[in-house]
Amino acid sequence: LTARLVAQAGEADLILAVGGDGTVNSVAAAAYRTGLPVGLIPAGTANDLARTLGLPLDPAAAAQVILAGRQTPIDLGEVNGTFFFNVASLGLSVKLADKLSSTSKKRWGRLGYLWALLRALAEARPFSAAITGEDGHTIVVKTLQIAVGNGRHYGGGMVVEQGAEINDGQLDLYSLEFKAVWKLLTIAGSFPTGRHGLSPEVRTLRGRQFKIATRRPRPINMDGELLGATPAVVTVHPAALRMIVP
């Protein structure tokens, strides 16, 4: 897809994506390479990038935004050469993606996410990982999930960190270091506002690059799709492409 879009870039004024976060993720590399602005008509289940950008979820209203043509630069995240808009994560989120089939997403929507999350929680186990920041300092953690956010929203409306924005030139990392999975329920209400980092069992870091290593390769979830594995180098590209926004 990227090669085809790049080849046709000279004939186009913009790249138009109709779908959810996985769909717009698939055109990220082409937009980065060609410099073409990206318009998005949300038609997915979670539509987290649309929420971050303040796009209307109604397709007709989103089309009017595209016709108006207002553009703004946003950051892109990258993991081992693959771009992402919202969040790259490993651990619990990978189990969630594995449990959440495309059929259940279409049929049940957010209820499908909730059911898949409960099943993933039942199987979740802590794992060890080494996190290295841009200053070279390494932290070894025992965690249920490590998530690195480029944008603000993920997982159907959750917030990476209460101050996170998709144009701040920074990545926001959190690590869920609960010894018992059930304790996650005690902070469940803080994820929609990004205040989960206030818990003493949630480690938060901010920076422009993180390296994450695990004892064995672990798959990485990027914008709802399994794309790559550890060891991972996560980097931010500030103002990397232009999105059409309200």
d(CA 246, CA 238): 21
Q: Which residues sit opposite 212 in a β-bridge?
A: 131, 232
Q: Is 201 a catalytic residue?
A: no
**For residues 241 and 222, is the Cβ–Cβ distance under 8 A?**
no
Q: Where would I find the H helices in the chain?
A: 2-7, 21-25, 28-34, 48-53, 59-68, 92-99, 102-108, 110-123
pTM for this entry:
0.88
Q: What is the pLDDT of residues 178-188, one digit of tens each?
A: 887 778 778 88
pLDDT digits (tens, 9 = 90+) for 133-172: 999 999 999 999 999 999 999 988 889 999 999 999 999 9
**Confidence at 117, pLDDT banded by 50, 70, 90:** low
Residue of 165, 177, 201, 225 with catalytic role: 225
Residue 8: per-residue pLDDT: 77
Q: Which residue has the higher pLDDT, 112 or 98?
A: 98
Q: Is residue 121 over pLDDT 90? A: no
The answer on pLDDT for 124 being more than 90 is: no
